[in-house]
Amino acid sequence: MDLSALKPTPPAPAGSVWWVDADDRSFESYLALSMQHPLVVEFWSPRAPSAARLSADLKELANEAAGAWLLVRVNVDEAAGIAQALQVTSVPMVVGVIAGQLVPMFQSTVEKAQAKAVIDQLVTLARQNGLSGRAQPIVPDADAAAGPDPRFEAADAALERGDFAAAVEEFDKLLAVNPADAEAAAGRAQAALMVRLAGANPADVQAAAQADPADVDAQMAMADLEVASGRLEPAFARLVEAVRLNAGAERDRARTRLLELFETVGNSDPAVLTARRNLATALF
């Protein structure tokens, strides 16, 4: 099984955001990214100050999603060519882009919760069309861009050479000092997933998982494979079901693995938020 494409992503540099400003020259390059992950394109103008709240909300949602999608902002006053080509007649106008195809979203100011619901649908549609990549963080702060966080130097070096077990050990050292270090916890979860996937035979794993939905080991192994291939919903659903079907230590093992996979994916991912609600229902 080739795991080279599943290499964990190092924690984002301090100051990272997941939104960019595009102009007539850069817009095409950002559109190309839609072949890897969904884009949300916001057409705006300083002449429409009533839309400032929407712009702020979209930036917040993009940062909360932490790479599930990228916000591309276009000032129509400065990028008239793009506005004309896409027939933008009024602002704000927000569209999605999946694999180069425009997806209408909304052409007005909307509440943050409504914007999030529409964007969540876009992310789901992207996954259904095989787009499971994540947007790279943008570092607008020159000081933050100076270099990687020195805390992760040893762990990053282990990841670079493909020694995922060593990376887990390095992240464990950081967590021993600060158990609340969310970046270290996410890095550890990603590296641990790679350790578990090594040597896995997908056919055998799938057969074992199908044979017994209550077999915690089998369901955890299958969930690992599904998360690694971007199939988050079925991975989380099978572990929620394992929690529901078991009791005592076995139930706790399934719950713990599910929480670890949440860390692997990122706690702001829509699939994680849904699975958390389902887990609460299964537990209580």
Query: DSSP per residue over 234-270, as a string?
Result: HHHHHHHHHHHH--HHHHHHHHHHHHHHHHHH-TTSH
Taking 70 as the pLDDT cut, the residues of the chain under it are: 1-14, 140-148, 267-268
pLDDT for 90-118, tens place per residue?
889 999 999 889 999 998 889 999 999 99
Is the pTM higher than 0.85? no
Cα angle, residue 67 at apex, residues 252 and 34 outer, rounded to 5°: 130
Query: In the chain, how many H helices and how many E strands?
Result: 12, 5
**Residue 95, phi then psi, degrees to nearest 5:** -130, 155
Instruction: Tell me the residue type at 177.
Output: V
Q: How far apart are CA 281 and CA 271, in angstroms?
A: 16
Residue 19 has a pLDDT of: 93
The answer to whether 184 touches 170, Cβ cutoff 8 Å, is: no
Helix, strand, coil shares of the chain, percent, nearest 5, are: 60, 10, 30
Distance in angstroms (rounded) separating the CA atoms of residues 227 and 220: 10
**pLDDT digit string, tens, across residues 113-160:** 999 999 999 999 998 888 878 888 887 654 444 556 788 889 988 888
Dist CA 222 CA 239 (whole Å):
9
